[in-house]
Copies of this chain bind each other. A is one copy, B any other.
Amino acid sequence: MKKGDFGYQIPLELIAEENRAAADGLDRSYDALREDLRRSGLLDRLGTDLDPITEQVSRFDVAVPSWGVSTGATRFARFSLPGEPTNVLDRLTDVATIHRLSGATPRISLHIPWDSTAAAHEVLDHGRRLGLGFDAINSNTFQDQPGQPLSYKFGSLSHTDAAVRAQAIAHNLACCEFGRAIGSDALTVWIGDGGCFPGQVHFRRSLERTIESLREIYGGLPEGWRLFVEYKPFEPAFYSTVIQDWGTAYVISRDLGDRSACLVDLGHHLPNANVEQIVARLIALGKLGGFHFNDSKFADDDLTAGSLRPYQLFLIFCELVDADNDAAVDRRFFHPAYMIDQSHCVKDPIEELIQTAEEIRRAYAKALLVDREALAGFQDRNDVLMAEMTLKAAFETDVRPILRRARVLRKAAADPIAVYRKARYREEKARERRT
């Protein structure tokens, strides 16, 4: 296969055909849902009908990380899969496939240097031909790369040695440079800096150094770009991390300026944290930059979004929809970037990302069905049970007809997993990408 070729692609006709075959059942379910929502009076109270909601859902999309299409590893093992992508172009191809099936992932988020920056033009061209856009660029100063002069073993942007910091800053600026060339508009900074033992780092000074480093990067941001500051309580540092929580990420973002905001990775919280409230806090402060969607039970497990705590995901989207409908929220500081960050270990990554896109849209669709006016009334009157039941009513609604219809609207597959398997994409790629 020639470089730049896409190789096998799932035929649009196959999708169309499958959709036609499913159309009748889909229509009936959709109509029954509309009927139900009308009968309950909800659509009236929302001042809309089901189609505009479905239309809105069909326009909601989320960026796929380039590393997401490969099989992820735990620290114990990596179990690879045939047909995994071997370079950045392959990754673009796989993400385009996910989009073709899900209609929900029109952008890819690259990670430097996992994605080679050698040929920006080629990447850009490949993406354009696939109809893919480029989301935030992710820099990497938590690993050493072959030939790298100085090690990040003891930190990067917070390192005690100014030369290491300078190297890390330069890498981030190079990421911006490359990102600009391919049309990105944001840089996501996640650093592994921190300490594994008490005494290892000086808490105050390591934060100061981090902020200084970030100021230099912020100063070099391309025009119109945003800088996302990601927080995480632990791992790979096991005692303290320099940007451990939203509070520290907020302090940093505020210091940097209006073009910096915080990034919420759903798995980056201490046990029992109320993540939806943190989202609300950042919205209130004008500092919600975006999301890394995933799910977790114990730590930063990087599982499929919504796979363990679907109600939490819904509650997060309730905050987003609420803010979106609140005139008091300043639009200049509320336009979150939606990205996925999962590590696909035991499922086919392409399937899992299709499923993820569905889960995220499900939460969004349900949040759109919340009777917000009623909710506000119950909240004002402290009618706790009715306020809760107002949310639950939306959550319990089976929105699968909306999600299927939304995909069909975008010419994607009503049942994307079924089409993916029928098309034997994985098997085709296994053949093509055999080394």
Distance in Å from the Cβ of A331 to the closest Cβ of chain B?
Answer: 15
A45 located at the interface, meaning its Cβ lies under 8 Å from any Cβ of chain B in the complex: no
Instruction: List A residues 298-348 near B (Cβ within 8 Å).
Output: 298-299, 301-304, 307-311, 315, 318-319, 322-323, 326, 345-348
A28 located at the interface, meaning its Cβ lies under 8 Å from any Cβ of chain B in the complex: yes
A36 located at the interface, meaning its Cβ lies under 8 Å from any Cβ of chain B in the complex: yes
Q: Could you tell me the distance between the alpha carbons of A380 and B209 in the complex, rounded to whole angstroms? A: 12
User: Does the CB pair B160–A380 fall under 8 Å?
Assistant: yes
User: Do A154 and B382 contact each other (CB < 8 Å), given the known contacts A236-B74, A272-B270?
Assistant: yes
Other-chain residue from B198, B297, B379 in contact with A201 (beta carbon distance below 8 A): B379
User: Does the CB pair B203–A238 fall under 8 Å?
Assistant: no
Which residue of chain B has the shortest Cβ distance to A25 in the bound complex? B39
User: Does the CB pair A202–B398 fall under 8 Å?
Assistant: no
User: Does the CB pair B247–A246 fall under 8 Å?
Assistant: yes
A117 located at the interface, meaning its Cβ lies under 8 Å from any Cβ of chain B in the complex: no
Other-chain residue from B271, B281, B378 in contact with A199 (beta carbon distance below 8 A): B378
**0/1 interface trace, chain A 35-70, chain B, CB 8 Å (1 if under):** 110011000000000000000000000000000000
User: Does the CB pair A197–B296 fall under 8 Å?
Assistant: no
Distance in Å from the Cβ of A392 to the closest Cβ of chain B?
Answer: 8
**0/1 interface trace, chain A 270-307, chain B, CB 8 Å (1 if under):** 11111011001101110000000000111101111001
Binds B, one of A88-96, A127-135, A383-391: A383-391
User: Do A384 and B196 contact each other (CB < 8 Å), given the known contacts A76-B143, A238-B296?
Assistant: yes
A427 located at the interface, meaning its Cβ lies under 8 Å from any Cβ of chain B in the complex: no
Distance in Å from the Cβ of A287 to the closest Cβ of chain B?
Answer: 10
A233 located at the interface, meaning its Cβ lies under 8 Å from any Cβ of chain B in the complex: yes
Q: Could you tell me the distance between the alpha carbons of A144 and B179 in the complex, rounded to whole angstroms? A: 37
Q: Could you tell me the distance between the alpha carbons of A22 and B299 in the complex, rounded to whole angstroms? A: 46
A430 located at the interface, meaning its Cβ lies under 8 Å from any Cβ of chain B in the complex: no
Q: Could you tell me the distance between the alpha carbons of A303 and B196 in the complex, rounded to whole angstroms? A: 8
A32 located at the interface, meaning its Cβ lies under 8 Å from any Cβ of chain B in the complex: yes
Residues of B within 8 A of A207 (CB): 280-281, 284
Q: Could you tell me the distance between the alpha carbons of A269 and B195 in the complex, rounded to whole angstroms? A: 20
User: Does the CB pair A298–B77 fall under 8 Å?
Assistant: no
Residues of B within 8 A of A352 (CB): 385
Q: Could you tell me the distance between the alpha carbons of A31 and B134 in the complex, rounded to whole angstroms? A: 46
A235 located at the interface, meaning its Cβ lies under 8 Å from any Cβ of chain B in the complex: yes
User: Does the CB pair A346–B200 fall under 8 Å?
Assistant: yes
User: Does the CB pair A151–B346 fall under 8 Å?
Assistant: no
Residues of B within 8 A of A296 (CB): 238
Which residue of chain B has the shortest Cβ distance to A378 in the bound complex? B199
User: Does the CB pair B274–A297 fall under 8 Å?
Assistant: yes
A434 located at the interface, meaning its Cβ lies under 8 Å from any Cβ of chain B in the complex: no
Q: Could you tell me the distance between the alpha carbons of A382 and B79 in the complex, rounded to whole angstroms? A: 14
Residues of B within 8 A of A74 (CB): 75, 235-236
User: Does the CB pair B303–A197 fall under 8 Å?
Assistant: yes
Residues of B within 8 A of A3 (CB): none
Distance in Å from the Cβ of A406 to the closest Cβ of chain B?
Answer: 15
Residues of B within 8 A of A284 (CB): 203-204, 207-208
User: Does the CB pair A29–B36 fall under 8 Å?
Assistant: yes
A192 located at the interface, meaning its Cβ lies under 8 Å from any Cβ of chain B in the complex: yes
User: Does the CB pair A351–B385 fall under 8 Å?
Assistant: yes
User: Does the CB pair B199–A277 fall under 8 Å?
Assistant: no
Residues of B within 8 A of A322 (CB): 202
A9 located at the interface, meaning its Cβ lies under 8 Å from any Cβ of chain B in the complex: no
Other than the known A250-B251, A355-B385, what 12 A-B pairs have Cβ atoms closer than 8 Å?
Answer: A25-B40, A153-B346, A160-B381, A197-B346, A198-B308, A199-B390, A208-B284, A247-B250, A248-B281, A274-B297, A310-B395, A396-B400
23 residue pairs A–B, Cβ–Cβ below 8 Å: A25-B39, A28-B35, A32-B36, A77-B236, A79-B151, A79-B152, A153-B346, A160-B379, A197-B303, A197-B308, A197-B387, A199-B375, A199-B378, A202-B379, A203-B319, A233-B273, A234-B297, A238-B297, A239-B274, A244-B274, A248-B281, A251-B281, A270-B273
